[in-house]
Structure 1
Amino acid sequence: MAVFKYRALTAGGKMVVATMEAEGRADVMAHLERIEATMISVSETVAGETRSWRDRLTIEPGTEDITGFTVDLAMLLKGGVTLNEALLILTQMETRRWLVRLIEQLHVDLSSGKSFSKVLARHPRLFPPIYVKMIEVAEVSGRLEQALTSIAEERQRTERLRKRLVSALAYPAFLAVAALGVLAFVLLYIIPQFEGAIAGFRDRISPSALFVFRLSEQFRAHVDIVLIAIAALLVAFIAVKRFAQKRALWVEVLSALPLTSRIVTYHLTLTFCRTLQILLENGVDISTSLRLVRQILSLPSAGPKIDAIIADVRGGKRLSQALARHALVPGHVVQMLRVGEESGRLGESAGRIAGFYENKLDVALGRMTAIAGPVLMMGVSMLIGWLILSIMSALMSINDLLV
């Protein structure tokens, strides 16, 4: 079967741009007739075709948009509305055009006879494998509403944690940028005001003061290169944030720093236990749950450990035995999971651990912010003080020579 991309006009007068698998164009036209849509254009897509730069730059729903969509869909299903009708209602309720296009495409694909999980799987950038798998299991068990509610709650919890992490790192980052800005201002505009005073006395002033004046000269001579480098870093950061799928490098760096390594450990344990709880409580088997957990853990060194744990579990070992062997999470976490396994309440035990580590992570983030802020402020103050003392010592040395 080939994949066709089409543009059509719905009975309500809305433009729909979507793709579907079909034997030929006639099947696409028949599908559009069934959903009472008027075809505008249809073309066959090339297998393995990559997204164009235009598509990449097109606004897409963010994680919070998808979370809001999940919450609204769960509420409609809870109210007794069918899935097909719920999607149609959401297209009428939503005002953001890019999100409307997504929901319309989901509605069209669902109307063609596909399962909801397969429809979502066509958008891997927006609906990760863990989302799709939970929907797939829920469709079989008839618990779609409960699964959507669980997904929405977990995504909201994750987003709150992400905002907490960003806010914890934003203040120290701001202070660091401010320190660099103050240093650049002093080197560009303040120190040059005193260069005339030390002319002819450079060989007689202190090495520290001489270093400051030479640093100012070099900075002013290459300020264009510095600006280009800063612009390039900003562009690279935006490009990585816009197009990159993983943040493995940043997480690896944070895991190696003394102030943030404990936070990374807390976050990894929280993510592992919380995701395991959600998947197990929604009927996903342990092997598949571990495979999905592996896809969302951002720490690179955790990947091989998860692979080894999956192999051990498939080989007949208990999860707690595999975790103890490969040291993915702290030892006391393994003990608590072992108790949950023995009592047949592994998901519940993982949930309790996740709640415990969520509190620990919140405390650790608050402590990091409380420490990093004053330390960076002291660093900025010492930097400015050193510059002032260096300049004053140079001027005083010149004054002593003149006297």
Structure 2
Amino acid sequence: MASFRYTVIDPSGKLRRGKMEGADEAEVIARLRRQGNTPVRAEPASGSRLATLLSTRLAARRGLPAQAVADLLLELATMLGAGQDLDQALRYLQTAASTPRAARVATGLRDAVRDGSPLSVAMAQQPESFRRLHIGLVRAGEAGGTLGPTVAQLADLLQRQRSLAASINSALIYPCLLLASAAGSVALLLTQVLPQFVPLFEQSGKALPASTQLLIDLSDAASRHGPWLLVLALAGLVAMPALLRRPGPRLLIDRALLRLPVIGGLVQEVLAARFSRVLGTLLGNGVPLIAALGVVREVLGNAAAAAAVDSAATAARGGGSLTQPLQEAGIFPPRTIHLLRLGEETAQLAPMALRAAAIHEERTQLATQRLLALLVPGITILMGLVVAGIVVAMLTAMLGMNDLAEG
């Protein structure tokens, strides 16, 4: 008996991995099918954990970025909507691919489909490019016989998410550059300009004002320990992704982010828009509520919000209300809870979730504009005050030297 690693889509629609003993791959696949799973792959479990990790990382680098996946799905939806069958549409994607990586992904999809696999299984065989959201929606479209419209909705969903993220990132570029320039200006004053005046202050033999002495101490510390502080900061940036992959620290950081003034409100709006849009799209395409919540928690990008969704899924699985655990978590805005509760009571959860998504997407844009309106003048004023404080402290000491000379 040999050991095999397998990847399957279980009856609830989740992508699951594991190990199983069997005589060969065919036996393992047959046993997985008898358990009600849809096998994606089965391969000998050879090699070390390090080799497996390295192969996973390399596979992730071979995957398509989010925008490329959205473009591919949009073109696929266009071809299917024009009346082409799936094989013809995938062949077009092969020839029209803008990059070799996109061509490889399209080729992998077409090869799997030509071998008899549904498109959802073909996508599950490339987890480095396609996520559970993509696979779950496509699977629902296949089950309902509406693959073309479902792929079009999926492409639209991805474009909306990308557009929302791009608008936020674009709005924050200028404040970040302004903050970096302010920090650089202060560092230049402390490490290059102020040290030029220190010998003059020392020669005067007069006690320096407290503000000037504080600046000199800061300048000395920056000159001596600045390189080490820079190295520590860079090391912290490098270690941050690994830290965020640990459940405990990630949960603490995400909760703290939600409590920040101004920024916390923006994060809540983004989470509400993402949660509502994905949930409404999945439910509208026939995905069961529990399976839809399982997909939603993975695309939120916030551990605290994901924990709230887990509580909601547990309550819904037991026949309780979806909105009560979400309200108790205090993460989503009251408007989201109200609209979802109304959807539950009227059996219109999908339409109400999509309506909530539209509202929160608009509010996210407005919140981003307000944040930008506060940050830019705030950083400018802060930079002016800091520079003015440095100049005043230096002038105070120099005027004191002049008084001593005149006396």
Interval of TM-score (by shorter of Structure 1 and Structure 2): 0.7 to 0.9
After superposition, residues 171-186 of structure 1 pair within 5 angstroms as 171-186=174-189
CA contact (8 A) 2:171 2:368 kept: yes
**Is 151-160 or 284-293 further displaced after alignment?**
284-293
Map of 2:69 onto structure 1 = 66
* 1:118 Cα deviation from its structure 2 partner: 1.2
Map of 2:221 onto structure 1 = 218
State the SS of the aligned residue for 2:53.
coil
Map of 1:200 onto structure 2 = 203
Map of 1:307 onto structure 2 = 310
CA contact (8 A) 1:187 1:215 kept: yes
Instruction: Provide closer, same or farther for how the CA distance between residues 305 and 180 of structure 1 changes in structure 2, counting only shifts above 3 A.
Output: same
Counterpart of 1:129, as a letter, is R
| Seq. identity, % | 25
Of the candidates 376, 379, 383, which is equivalent to residue 373 of structure 1?
A: 376
* 1:385 Cα deviation from its structure 2 partner: 0.6
* 1:3 Cα deviation from its structure 2 partner: 7.7
State the SS of the aligned residue for 2:186.
helix
- TM score, norm. by length of structure 1: 0.82
- 1:402 is aligned to 2:402: no
- After superposition, what is the alpha-carbon deviation per residue over 1:230-257, rounded to whole angstroms, capped at 9, x for unaligned? 44355456x669x969976764443121
State the SS of the aligned residue for 1:222.
helix
Take 1:279 and 1:202, find their aligned partners in 2: how far apart are those partners?
76
Map of 1:319 onto structure 2 = 322
Map of 1:295 onto structure 2 = 298
- After superposition, what is the alpha-carbon deviation per residue over 1:104-155, rounded to whole angstroms, capped at 9, x for unaligned? 1222222222221111112223211121111111111111111111111111
- After superposition, what is the alpha-carbon deviation per residue over 1:251-286, rounded to whole angstroms, capped at 9, x for unaligned? 444312112111122122212211111011101111
Map of 2:133 onto structure 1 = 130
Instruction: Provide closer, same or farther for how the CA distance between residues 391 and 351 of structure 1 changes in structure 2, counting only shifts above 3 A.
Output: same
Map of 2:17 onto structure 1 = none
* 1:67 Cα deviation from its structure 2 partner: 0.5
Map of 1:46 onto structure 2 = 46
Of the candidates 96, 102, 107, which is equivalent to residue 104 of structure 1?
A: 107
CA contact (8 A) 1:202 1:210 kept: no
Map of 1:385 onto structure 2 = 388
Map of 1:334 onto structure 2 = 337
CA contact (8 A) 2:62 2:128 kept: no
Instruction: Provide closer, same or farther for how the CA distance between residues 245 and 132 of structure 1 changes in structure 2, counting only shifts above 3 A.
Output: farther
* 1:360 Cα deviation from its structure 2 partner: 1.3
Take 2:265 and 2:172, find their aligned partners in 1: how far apart are those partners?
15
CA contact (8 A) 2:74 2:152 kept: yes
CA contact (8 A) 1:205 1:398 kept: no
Take 2:99 and 2:287, find their aligned partners in 1: how far apart are those partners?
34
**Is 277-286 or 209-218 further displaced after alignment?**
209-218
**Is 340-349 or 316-325 further displaced after alignment?**
316-325
Alignment root-mean-square deviation, CA: 3.0
Counterpart of 1:46, as a letter, is S
CA contact (8 A) 1:309 1:326 kept: no
Map of 1:9 onto structure 2 = none
After superposition, residues 153-302 of structure 1 pair within 5 angstroms as 153-201=156-204, 203-233=206-236, 235-236=238-239, 251-302=254-305
Instruction: Provide closer, same or farther for how the CA distance between residues 54 and 262 of structure 1 changes in structure 2, counting only shifts above 3 A.
Output: closer
State the SS of the aligned residue for 2:312.
helix
CA contact (8 A) 2:312 2:323 kept: no
Counterpart of 2:188, as a letter, is F
Counterpart of 2:341, as a letter, is R
Any gaps of 5 or more consecutive residues in structure 2? 7-22, 27-42
State the SS of the aligned residue for 2:203.
coil
Map of 1:81 onto structure 2 = 84
* 1:332 Cα deviation from its structure 2 partner: 4.0
State the SS of the aligned residue for 2:197.
helix
CA contact (8 A) 1:248 1:298 kept: no
